[in-house]
Amino acid sequence: MFAYGSGVKQQEGYEKVGNGNNKRPPPGTVVDLVFCVRDAQGFHAENLHRHPEHYSALGHLGPNFVAKYQERLGAGVYCNTLVPLPDVGITIKYGVVSQEQLLEDLLDWRHLYLAGRLHKPVTNLVNPSDNPPLKAALDRNLISALQVALLLLPEKFTAYGLFHTIAGLSYKGDFRMIFGENKQKVHNIVSPQINDFFALYQPSLGELSDYVAVNMKGHEPGSRKPAIIFEQDKSSSATSQHLRRLPRELQKRLQRNAACRGDYTQVVNHLSLASQLPEVLQASVNDIVWRSSVTQSLKNIPSAGLLKSLAYSYRKAQKTFAV
């Protein structure tokens, strides 16, 4: 179980989260939550019994239907939107995903939906270390994001450049960025959370220490403060190593988009020497994100109900134009 978004993590342009001893988000903020459950049907059966008002008309079709709707459509997530919690004075939106589908997304990037959200700092409400398979998949997801970023970046880059590239993976192909989201969203996420990103990716950077190193002597142009500059191995052998370890769905997309036909080994040999690798790789990531963002957004309309969908979209638009 984790919380994410501007309700719990500071983003530039939004009211500060948790001032002083006040850990609650500002009034009117929607807190985004995700529940990973082992038994989706069992979860919805109990939740429908306790909180039938959380569900749209789909809830009347029963927990078996809701679980199938969750798992067979979109990115495998069922969302209940704009749920008021008057006892704590906040409103939540919560998504439910089965552990099996979350593991698949984290390891293979089948949808790059929750995997993409988990490329960025979140607030864990249940310790994932208590679930070894899930913890291993979360760690693998971060390494995959770091490897893709290294393939997209030049030989030398700043910490901001690294984390902006990582955070942008799940946004560049999202159709909502065309009209529904603030175009500076990635910057707004990364800029105030650099230290959180460092903490999140420190183990992954250690895992890839043979390929990327930190040079503390660099300086950002126009700044007197020392900047953290990364240097990476851009040899064809290092590039090949990263390409071979990419998530399975991304490998499939690269095979389709590369100007080379053959099995993935041949594609790796071709792309490791190709100057257009960053463009092909970014297009392949975008392919995954575009499809899942469209299908999941369409799926969320019936699960939220039309009125709540319109209200939620209106709130998102208000945030976009206010920033």
Match 């070894």 to its residue by tokens: 132
Per-residue pLDDT tens digits for 186-208: 999 999 999 999 999 999 999 99
Whether the predicted pLDDT of 110 surpasses 70: yes
Q: In the β-sheet with 229-232, what is the strand arrangement from edge to edge?
A: 156-158, 229-232, 212-215
Position 63 in a domain: no
Average pLDDT over residues 103-129: 96
Per-residue pLDDT tens digits for 91-104: 999 999 999 999 99
Average pLDDT over residues 137-147: 98
Position 110 in a domain: yes
Full residue range of the structural domain in which residue 19 is found: 2-37+73-321
Q: Which of 39-53, 92-106, 136-150, 209-223 has the lowest average pLDDT?
A: 209-223
- Phi/psi region, residue 220 (left: phi>0; alpha: psi -120 to 50; beta: rest), is beta
pLDDT for 314 equals 46
Position 52 in a domain: no
The pTM score is 0.88
Model confidence band, residue 41 (pLDDT cutoffs 50, 70, 90): very high
Position 308 in a domain: yes
- How do 229-232 and 77-85 pair as beta strands? unpaired
Q: How many domains does the chain have?
A: 1
Neighbours of 101 (CB within 10 A): 20
- Measure Cα distances from 291 to 24, 252, 272 in Å: 34, 14, 27
Position 56 in a domain: no
Model confidence band, residue 177 (pLDDT cutoffs 50, 70, 90): low
Distance CA 92, CA 7 (A): 9
Position 172 in a domain: yes
Looking at per-residue pLDDT, the higher value among 314 and 138 belongs to 138
Proportion of the chain above pLDDT 70, given as a percent: 82
The residues, any chain, with a CB within 8 Å of residue 283's CB and separated by 6 or more, are: 257
> Residue 227 has what DSSP assignment?
-
Please tell me whether residue 261 adopts helix, strand or coil conformation.
Answer: coil
Position 47 in a domain: no
- How do 212-215 and 229-232 pair as beta strands? antiparallel
Position 66 in a domain: no
Do the beta carbons of residue 228 and residue 216 sit within 8 Å?
Answer: yes
Whether the predicted pLDDT of 268 surpasses 90: yes
Average pLDDT over residues 280-287: 96
pLDDT for 281 equals 97
Looking at per-residue pLDDT, the higher value among 57 and 7 belongs to 57
Binning the chain into helix, strand and coil, the percentages to the nearest 5 are 55, 15, 30
